[in-house]
Amino acid sequence: MYESQFVTIIIVEDDPGHSKLIENNLRRGGLETPIKAFENGQQALDYLKSQGDFSDRPIDQSTLLLLLDINMPIMNGVELLRILKQDTQLRDIPVIMLTSTDDQREIDECYSLGCNLYVPKPVEPDRFSEVMRELGMIIARVAVPTIK
């Protein structure tokens, strides 16, 4: 396993099976940091802002990195990305779009809204696992900003 700075990974993915597969393969890539998973953008936003179901949780001052799916119920990934990047307290959180959508217009929109990286999820299970493992290796080595 690789040593990396303390970072909490927030996976926002509506399919619990995909979420677990992402987590398992990130760990295979050497990622040892805490991982939290949410099934839609609203849950993740409530967690990040300590509101709603998370109102009794202190504001997290740790280093965060979001892995964000696009197609989700309640609040999709593009909506959450837009909100995060307009919020002065949350806009510095790095966001990796991790989605099966490879439409160039959506890719362009996500980058224009401020995502840091756009990774299309491969459809083939073996390739999906390999891409997540490689992403875990990369994340284990990058430095990310702390929340202000």
> What distance in Å separates the CA atoms of residue 64 and residue 57, rounded to the nearest whole number?
16
Question: In sequence order, which residues have a C-beta less than 8 Å from that of residue 148 and are 6 or more positions away?
Answer: 89, 92
Q: How buried is 114 (Cβ within 10 angstroms: 0-12 exposed, 13-18 middle, 19+ buried)?
A: middle
pTM of the model: 0.86
pLDDT tens digits for 81-135?
Answer: 999 999 998 998 999 998 887 789 999 999 999 999 998 887 888 888 888 888 8
pLDDT tens digits for 21-80?
Answer: 889 888 888 788 889 999 999 999 999 998 888 888 766 656 889 999 999 999 999 999
Domains of the chain, by residue range, sit at 8-139
Query: SS3 for 6?
Result: coil
User: Higher model confidence: residue 99 or residue 140?
Assistant: 99
CATH number listed for the domain at residues 8-139: 3.40.50.2300
Q: Could you tell me which of 69, 80, 66 has the C-alpha nearest to residue 121?
A: 69
